Structure 1
Amino acid sequence: MKLIEHPVVAQKGIAVLDSVDRAILRHLQQDASLSIVSLAAKVKRSAPACLRRVERLKETGLIRRVVALLDAKALGAGMFAVIGIVLDGSTPEAFASFEKAAQKVSGCVACHAVSGRFDYILLVRARGNESFNRLHAAQALHLPGVRELHSFKVLKEVLSTQAIPL
């Protein structure tokens, strides 16, 4: 049996973390490229102890993966749009078919099933108006089961983060 220093305990499906774990997660959300030595200094722990905690956070799934956040505008994908989708039917098959197809839409960075007026919200990145119009006409309009599609081009990104409040 593997002993874990300070196990993450789940209460009602929510992880219970101590202040050091929270500090580690806050720092990694800001800069995941921090070395273990730098991270350890920031959370006032030894490097080996910090490494054990980071590995445990990965093993328990609280850190799902480490990625680089890219500058969309500098890479030619500066247009951001939100597409609200209403489906024809509300069957598990209709949802499954749509979800499978939505994952293949070029430039789609997120797809969420939502409550309210729409069944799904797609978040899409494109090069510009022409690129978005092509994506809209060639892909979004042809997603299975779509009855209504409402597009909203983002005029200004005021806040854009993946950070979870801790």
Structure 2
Amino acid sequence: MLDRTDKAILRALQTDASISNVALADKVHLSPPACLRRVDRLKRAGLIDATVALLNPQALGAGMLVMIGVVLDRSTPESFSAFEKAAAKISGCMECHVVTGEFDYFMLVRTRDGESFNRLHAEQLLYLPGVRQIRSFIVLKQVLSTTQIPL
């Protein structure tokens, strides 16, 4: 179980993982050594997967976000496995999820613009194994995107 201090540490790190241990300790009202021990324990427990920098996609030429629904032609472990291995190699693929409902997968892909997405579609997406149907949804406006899990 997480206590109040653990949750405060996790909330602070989700907001700014580059915070120094001294500043984090001050923020959660612990001594720096006690704070460091807690952070290490949270990492060992698997609650902190990684510490990363979130980059600005527009500044890096990946401002177009596309959600892609995929339907496979067969629902076998082999077809799912082949698709997943190939999807992991798609340029700009940020996420790929197995879903319920009308589609088998939803992918989130970042690319420069419509022309580069068209090229990606023609050169990579159409060649994904076992695909019966691909439906692309170009994001017009990002209303909310967060990496923070509510605690």
TM-score (norm 1): 0.90
Give how far 1:118 is off.
0.4
1:162 is displaced (CA, Å) by 1.2
Show structure 2 runs of 5+ residues with no match.
none
Alignment correspondent of 2:123: 138
- What is the RMSD computed on CA atoms of the aligned residues? 0.5
Q: Where do 1:38-77 residues align within 5 Å?
A: 38-77=23-62
The 3-state SS of whatever aligns with 2:74 is coil
Deviations 1:7-62 (A, max 9, x none): xxxxxxxxx21110000000000000000000001100000000000011111111
**Is 1:96 matched with 2:58?**
no
1:107 and 2:89 correspond: no
* C-alpha separation in 1, matches of 2:145 and 2:116: 22
Q: Taking every aligned residue pair, what percent have the same amino acid on both sides?
A: 66
**Equivalent residue for 2:14, pick from 3, 24, 29:** 29
Mapped partners of 1:133, 1:58: distance in 2: 41
Look up the match of 1:129.
114
1:150 corresponds to 2:135: yes
The answer to which structure, 1 or 2, has the higher relative contact order (CA under 8 A, 6+ apart) is 2
Shift of 1:64: 0.6
Paired positions, count: 151
- Match for residue 8 of structure 1? none
Q: Secondary structure at the match of 1:70?
A: coil
Quote the Cα distance in structure 1 between the aligned partners of 2:88 and 2:115.
Answer: 21
Q: Distance in 2 between the 1:135 and 1:47 partners?
A: 48
SS at match of 1:28: helix
Give the residue type in structure 1 aligned to 2:46: G
Deviating above 2 A after TM superposition, structure 1's stretches of 4 or more consecutive aligned residues are none
Match of 2:102 in 1: 117
Looking at structure 1, the residues matched to 9 and 50 of structure 2 have their Cα atoms a distance apart, in angstroms, of 15
CA deviations over 1:91-132 (Å, ceiling 9, x no partner): 000000000000000000000000011000000000001111
2:37 alignment partner AA? R
Shift of 1:141: 1.2
Unpaired runs of 5+ residues, structure 1, are 1-15
**In the aligned structure 2, how far is the partner of 1:140 from the partner of 1:78?**
19
